[in-house]
Chains A and B, each alone.
Chain A
Amino acid sequence: MAIEADHCDVAIVGTGAGGGIIAHRLAKAGLKVVSLEQGGRLPDDYFSETAPPGAKLDFGIGPSTVWPADPHDSLFVHPLFADGAHGATPRPADGFRHFQILKLNGLQNLWNGVSVRFCEADFAGWPFGYDHLADDYSQVERLITVCGTKEGIAELPDGEFIPPKPLRPADTMIVNAVKSLREPFSHAIPNRKAIITTPGLANSCISTGICTSGCPVGAVYKFSARLLPEIAGLDNYELRTNAKVTRVLREPGAETVSGVEYIDTKTGERRRLEARFVVLAAGAIETPRILFNSADDADPAGLANRTDRVGQGLQDNPKSVLSTSLLKLWGHKRTYDIGYGDLLILMSRGKLPDGSDFPFIGHAIHGLPDVPHYLSGFAGFPPAVKIRMARMMFHSYVTLGLFCAGEARPENRIRPGSTTDSDGVPQVTIDFTTPPAAREQMASMLKWGRKILRKASATKIYESIDNNGTGIHYAGTTAISDDPSAGVVDRDLRCHGLDNLYVCDGGVIPNLPDKHLTLSIMALSNRLGRHLEERVQSETKVAA
């Protein structure tokens, strides 16, 4: 890795979905690149020894585990999630639940790996369509390795896949239940995930049954496990961890930025990095925070915010979750590979009271309940009966997690806050209320989920709905638009009015579709990398 520089071609803020792909591309292309990550690097054995998935360590009990617990809330107590003293928001108890990880890879440390393309309809409101991004999707899929199957479904474009893991009996029951609906718009197909399913490699999937607790072997894509090793030794690439970017620098009123200021969180020292181009890829909540905190006399409301668009239109996918025990699997022993837990993608259309319909997507999850979240369903039974029931039902649990589109509403927004984090950096406040339509959509998804589970021999069904941050698919806060009054970045992801400041994270997605956004962020990142390569070449020719 290069000696620490005070100037570079491209400063990239963040090492997650957007920051990792572009850093790799530009460093490989020979540009002088510095990645700035506000957290540290996790030890290589963190997910195998310090915080392994499931009950392997301390029965899965940590300092924050509570009793009784909502089984559907279990994903949200991981120690890696930043608290209100360290994150971008103070995380008030009754507010929007903002999840942020301040470590190399960001949220991808606990990413589920789902990698689906948006379809043409999902690009409504964008300055370009699906065809414009199709090659970038392909390049990224090959780069990160995505398993899946080609299905020919227009609403879910096919990609470049390696084979997925084989379906299990529970999956087959759900597939048959969906088929029995005889609806042309309802599908149950193998999941598409950025997982190395090819056996025999050092980072082949080891079938933990769950990816959202971190992968012990790096089978799920993340920057540090796959792409960073390819560029870490290059003279033109540098990764700075514990480097919390506080603001983008420019001469007041100038149309170009000159770099970034950051705090070395180990020493508390404030430092500067000059850059020809700055890419903010810190996430749909942290990036607006940096823009707000970059306010100067010329732009007192924040950089790139002359039309008050920064932070507006925050979205997250409304979701409905249903869990049950399938009667037909009672007493069954496991003779199959549990794989990565959620082996199915489900797609359908929900119906609303006014007669309209809407698309939704989701997963069928069948893991191993080694952490016994099922116990809340056994309340009232004597211990001896609980033991018999738990043994009989152990391999019968299925959960459906269903997501529909977000809705960009101006009142759902991020704005400068009145609090600071532990480093003294101003935080942001989130105003968010669930849109009325989302409530109807979540109810409709529950209805569909019940129908599927009952056809698959469901017993008691435990249900929950949520649209308060737990989708962890944050979008819309620095929206893309060719119209500066309607968005923050243009079709090249360049901030309106600023020649060399770019944004590449979920914030640029103007209308969050039902589908998971991560692969699209990566495709946009790949595209932005190409744009910057071409721009550097072109400007170099002119200068010569």
Chain B
Amino acid sequence: MSVKLTDDVGAALVAAIVARSPYRRALTPMIGEITRIALANNQIRAALADVAIRSNFEATRTLGRRDLGPQRATLMSFLEYVYFASPAFLASVGEGPKEGSHNGH
């Protein structure tokens, strides 16, 4: 079941889920960007809406351990993907942003 998720509830929910991610230290500084991308993605937005209903998040603004339910794998995969595609991770392998170019010379 999916319902309309308001942007402010969505943002608070993304922040709560990021706080449960093993990559939270790297992801937290990017929370605004992650929220925008998450809410623009069809699958992630729907998953967030399901979690919001299950946890009554709009009223409680708290997220229990079991509230992610079957959407846990999708949401955690999304955050993991963001970590490994982030500028900080890419810089750690020597691939920092260079105006879209990947010429090593």
Question: Among B12-20, B52-60, B80-88, which stretch is in contact with chain A?
Answer: B80-88
Contact A394 B85 (CB under 8 A): no
A510 to chain B, nearest CB (A): 40
Q: Given A59-B81, A375-B80, does the pair A209, B100 have CB atoms closer than 8 Å?
A: no
Q: Any chain A CB within 8 A of the CB of B94?
A: yes
Partner of A67, one of B74, B84, B85, B95: B74
A189 to chain B, nearest CB (A): 23
Contact B77 A67 (CB under 8 A): yes
Task: Kindly state the separation between the CA atoms of A6 and B105 in the bound complex, as whole angstroms.
Answer: 53
Chain B residues closer than 8 Å to A368, beta-carbon distance: 95, 102
Chain A residues closer than 8 Å to B99, beta-carbon distance: 206
Question: Among B1-9, B37-45, B62-70, which stretch is in contact with chain A?
Answer: B37-45
Interface size on A, residues (CB 8 A): 39
Q: Any chain B CB within 8 A of the CB of A383?
A: yes
Partner of A370, one of B23, B73, B95: B95
| Chain A residue at minimum C-beta to C-beta distance from B97 | A56
Contact A206 B37 (CB under 8 A): no
* Mask: chain A, 337-376; 1 = CB below 8 Å from B; 0 = not: 1100000000000000000000000000000101110010
Chain B residues closer than 8 Å to A56, beta-carbon distance: 97, 100
Question: Among A34-42, A47-55, A459-467, A496-504, which stretch is in contact with chain B?
Answer: A47-55
Query: A360-399: which have CB < 8 Å to B?
Result: 368, 370-372, 375, 383, 386-387, 390-391, 394-395
Q: Given A56-B100, A63-B42, A370-B95, does the pair A390, B22 have CB atoms closer than 8 Å?
A: no
Contact A216 B100 (CB under 8 A): yes
Q: Given A67-B43, A68-B77, does the pair A59, B101 have CB atoms closer than 8 Å?
A: no
Chain A residues closer than 8 Å to B103, beta-carbon distance: 206-207, 337-338
Chain B residues closer than 8 Å to A67, beta-carbon distance: 43, 73-74, 77-78, 81
Q: Any chain B CB within 8 A of the CB of A335?
A: yes
Task: Kindly state the separation between the CA atoms of A62 and B45 in the bound complex, as whole angstroms.
Answer: 12
Partner of A394, one of B22, B23, B78, B93: B93
B8 to chain A, nearest CB (A): 21
Chain A residues closer than 8 Å to B78, beta-carbon distance: 61, 67
Partner of B86, one of A59, A208, A333, A335: A59
Q: Any chain B CB within 8 A of the CB of A93?
A: no
Task: Kindly state the separation between the CA atoms of A56 and B33 in the bound complex, as whole angstroms.
Answer: 13
Q: Any chain B CB within 8 A of the CB of A58?
A: yes
Q: Any chain B CB within 8 A of the CB of A334?
A: yes
**Chain B contact residues (Cβ within 8 angstroms of A): what range?**
20 to 34
Q: Any chain B CB within 8 A of the CB of A437?
A: no
Q: Any chain B CB within 8 A of the CB of A127?
A: no
Partner of B105, one of A209, A216, A337: A337
Chain A residues closer than 8 Å to B74, beta-carbon distance: 67
Query: A52-76: which have CB < 8 Å to B?
Result: 52-53, 55-56, 58-68
| Chain B residue at minimum C-beta to C-beta distance from A53 | B100
Contact B41 A335 (CB under 8 A): no
Contact A55 B43 (CB under 8 A): no
Task: Kindly state the separation between the CA atoms of A395 and B80 in the bound complex, as whole angstroms.
Answer: 19
Q: Any chain A CB within 8 A of the CB of B29?
A: no
Partner of B41, one of A61, A338, A370: A61
Chain A residues closer than 8 Å to B23, beta-carbon distance: 383
Q: Given A53-B100, A208-B102, A334-B104, does the pair A60, B85 have CB atoms closer than 8 Å?
A: yes
Chain B residues closer than 8 Å to A53, beta-carbon distance: 100
Task: Kindly state the separation between the CA atoms of A383 and B86 in the bound complex, as whole angstroms.
Answer: 15
Q: Given A59-B37, A207-B101, does the pair A334, B81 have CB atoms closer than 8 Å?
A: no
25 A-B contacts (beta carbon < 8 Å): A48-B100, A55-B85, A58-B33, A58-B40, A60-B85, A61-B78, A61-B82, A62-B40, A63-B41, A63-B42, A64-B41, A65-B41, A65-B43, A66-B43, A67-B74, A68-B77, A207-B102, A207-B103, A333-B94, A336-B104, A338-B102, A368-B95, A375-B77, A375-B80, A387-B89
